[in-house]
């Protein structure tokens, strides 16, 4: 084939690939809806609610879904929303959005910045902010519900859309499951969700097969000692020295006991002990975050923390009644697993629709998410995918790379994504994916 013919063939291929799939009009309809969607977004952003307190947010989502024609149930898993739209025989697809904000004082300078304050389930009073972008998630969810209801002629099956509470404390998904999510409502064949990200350019979709997010365990270690005068350490058993030895030895769990092909993290985030220069205290408290992917790796790390704490205490001559106490948070975030074949299928679909330049292969993250709990509830049946949607201007990312500048991201009081691009891309991706998974016959 000659070069001119090759160029013509390439141009024809480009015209018949992504643009052809986009001719269903969804993108144009979303653009037309954006002014109203941004009004919803700004309202949700300005009025965030903490975990298991998402009463107003849940009502906004429930009212929107009910108006679109869904059967809506509120109060599932305390404050969760379940909206079901049946449209003939076919697969069942679940689409999730999380609703809770974070105990963060907003510093974005936005005209609609949150000034809300509240008290968390832990009893801590603070400012509240959607510093993780859940306001974009909820707004896109509302648009997807409207689009799916308006275009029932393009798909058949059952759509289950859930507004999930308490993702930030890793309890909302389990609360909904325990409240009968998969017994009171149709159990899905496929589960979809998205999360905004500061690591990708605005509107770019990130996909990762396999492990996408990590197990997250919070561990408290109380290191006991025998206190006394700092001038006479020989009369004491110093818990600060012991705790320091434990901290240093913990690093070997990753560097010497974990496989380099199974990433893991053990971070000591807090070390509290003592009150005065010349007093050796009776105890020290350590707070750890432990990240892993596989269940085997998680067990190795948690068992290793207990073994090291005990071993160092014995080496320090600590009496048996003063052994360290290791407590693991009973509600961890379990690793989120994207079903590989299903994820590859959806990645190919997104590339065909949006073009290769707008779909990126992304590495797994050490952050946590409880979306994976839905697939864990019936992993042999449910195909699961959480994907990312970029929210940072491409030119800002490029400038930071060029200048070596660090940029704030999720959970920062300064995080303000390009919300219109996140919402538009996520709404189109979720709607198109749901229609692809529930084709009209």
Please give the positions annotated as active site: 98, 168
The closest alpha carbon to 440, from 90, 21, 92, belongs to 90
The closest alpha carbon to 242, from 153, 310, 176, belongs to 310
The closest alpha carbon to 166, from 118, 217, 99, 116, belongs to 99
Q: Which residue has the tokens 């890793």?
A: 170
**Per the structure block, which two tokens stand in for 231?**
């001038």
3-state secondary structure of 204: coil
- Determine the length of the chain: 441
Strands (E), 148-307: 157-164, 190-201, 205-207, 210-213, 215-224, 228-229, 265-273, 279-280, 283-292
CA distances from 20 to 94, 179, 272, 324 (A): 26, 43, 60, 64
> Please, which residues have CB within 8 angstroms of residue 276's CB and are 6 or more apart in sequence?
none
Q: How far apart are CA 306 and CA 321, in angstroms?
A: 16
Q: How far apart are CA 424 and CA 254, in angstroms?
A: 41
> Please, which residues have CB within 8 angstroms of residue 121's CB and are 6 or more apart in sequence?
50, 51, 52, 169
- The answer to whether 162 touches 68, Cβ cutoff 8 Å, is no
Q: Which residue has the tokens 């005990």?
A: 310
Q: How far apart are CA 311 and CA 248, in angstroms?
A: 13
Q: How far apart are CA 320 and CA 340, in angstroms?
A: 48
Backbone dihedral angles phi then psi of residue 259, each to the nearest 5 degrees: -70, 135
DSSP lists the bridge partners of residue 265 as 291
Q: How far apart are CA 291 and CA 263, in angstroms?
A: 8
**∠ at Cα 140 (137, 145), nearest 5°?**
125
Task: State the pairing for strand pair 279-280/205-207.
Answer: unpaired
């Amino acid at each position: 084939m000659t070069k001119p013919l090759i160029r013509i063939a390439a141009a024809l291929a480009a015209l018949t690939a992504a643009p052809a799939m986009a001719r269903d009009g969804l993108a144009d309809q979303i653009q037309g809806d954006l002014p109203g969607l941004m009004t919803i977004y700004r309202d949700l952003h300005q009025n965030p609610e903490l975990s298991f307190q998402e009463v107003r947010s849940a009502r906004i989502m429930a009212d929107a879904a009910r108006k679109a024609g869904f059967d809506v149930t509120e109060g599932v898993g305390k404050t969760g929303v379940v909206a079901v739209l049946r449209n003939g025989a076919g697969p069942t697809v679940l689409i999730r959005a999380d609703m809770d904000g974070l105990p963060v004082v907003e510093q974005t300078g936005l005209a609609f910045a949150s000034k809300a304050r509240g008290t968390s389930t832990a009893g801590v009073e603070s400012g509240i902010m959607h510093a993780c972008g859940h306001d974009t998630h909820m707004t896109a969810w509302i648009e997807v519900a409207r689009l799916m209801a308006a275009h029932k002629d393009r798909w058949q099956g059952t759509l289950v859309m859930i507004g999930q509470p308490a993702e930030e404390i890793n309890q909302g998904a389990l609360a909904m499951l325990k409240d009968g999510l998969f017994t009171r409502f149709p159990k899905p064949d496929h589960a979809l969700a998205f999360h905004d990200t500061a690591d990708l350019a605005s509107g770019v979709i990130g996909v990762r097969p396999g492990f996408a997010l990590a197990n997250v365990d919070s561990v408290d270690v109380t290191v006991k000692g025998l206190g006394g005068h700092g001038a006479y350490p020989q009369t004491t058993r110093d818990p600060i020295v012991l705790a320091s030895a434990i901290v240093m030895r913990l690093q070997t769990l990753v560097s010497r006991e974990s496989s380099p092909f199974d990433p893991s993290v053990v971070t000591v985030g807090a070390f509290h002990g003592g009150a005065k220069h010349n007093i050796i205290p009776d105890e020290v408290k350590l707070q750890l975050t432990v990240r892993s992917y596989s269940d085997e790796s998680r067990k190795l790390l948690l068992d290793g923390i207990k073994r090291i704490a005990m071993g160092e205490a014995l080496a320090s001559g600590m009496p048996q009644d003063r052994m360290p106490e290791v407590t693991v948070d009973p509600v961890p975030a379990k690793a989120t697993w994207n079903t590989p074949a299903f994820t590859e299928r959806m990645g190919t679909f997104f590339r065909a629709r949006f073009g290769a330049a707008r779909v990126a292969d992304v590495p797994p993250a050490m952050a946590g998410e409880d979306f994976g709990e839905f697939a864990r509830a019936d992993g042999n049946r449910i195909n699961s995918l959480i994907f990312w949607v970029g929210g940072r201007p491409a030119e800002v990312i490029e400038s930071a790379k060029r200048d070596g500048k660090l940029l704030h991201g999720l959970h920062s009081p300064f995080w303000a994504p390009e919300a219109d691009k996140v919402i538009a891309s996520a709404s189109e991706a979720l709607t198109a994916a749901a229609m692809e998974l529930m084709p009209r016959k």
